């Protein structure tokens, strides 16, 4: 039972355009959502997060949107750069930067085309 779903295994975007990565969840108890970025042979690194009391959080080129009624979140990257090519994992938690037992999606491989 996949509680966090990333239905697009891969995505290709031209450099300079917007990348939109999507994530859906089924557990209504989740109240904190995170995006992690992973390069080959490295561990995932934290990118951006959002609490369920918000519908948008922005950090530089990265913006996360949360639609609680649809149980959907998305990560927007604009403009996309070659260094953004990586696997992106959506994650959800019922804790907020404490004892986090994160539930991860299956990941989306983003390729930025120069």
Partner 1 sequence: DAGITQSPRHKVTETGTPVTLRCHQTENHRYMYWYRQDPGHGLRLIHYSYGVKDTDKGEVSDGYSVSRSKTEDFLLTLESATSSQTSVYFCATTGTGSPLHFGNGTRLTVT
Q: What number of chain residues touch partner 1 (CB under 8 A)?
A: 24
Site string for partner 1, 79-98 (x = CB under 8 A): ----------x-x-----xx
Contact flag: residue 4 with partner 1 (CB under 8 A)? yes
Question: Burial level of 67, CB count in 10 A (0-12/13-18/19+)?
Answer: exposed
Query: Which residues in 9-68 contact partner 1 (CB under 8 A)?
Result: 34, 36, 41-46, 49
Distances (CA, A) of 87 to 1, 69, 99, 108, 111: 22, 27, 25, 5, 9
- Note the residues at the interface with partner 1 (CB under 8 A): 4, 6, 34, 36, 41-46, 49, 89, 91, 97-107
């Amino acid at each position: 039972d996949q509680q966090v779903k990333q239905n697009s295994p891969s995505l290709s975007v031209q450099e300079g355009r917007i990348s939109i990565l999507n994530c859906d969840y089924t557990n209504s108890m989740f109240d904190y959502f995170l995006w992690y970025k992973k390069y080959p042979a490295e561990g995932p690194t934290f990118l951006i997060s959002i609490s369920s009391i918000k519908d948008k959080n922005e950090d530089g080129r990265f913006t996360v949107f949360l639609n609680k009624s649809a149980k959907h979140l998305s990560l927007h990257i604009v403009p996309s750069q070659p260094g953004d090519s990586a696997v992106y994992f959506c994650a959800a938690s019922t804790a907020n930067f404490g004892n986090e037992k994160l539930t991860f999606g299956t990941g989306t491989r983003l390729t930025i085309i120069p």
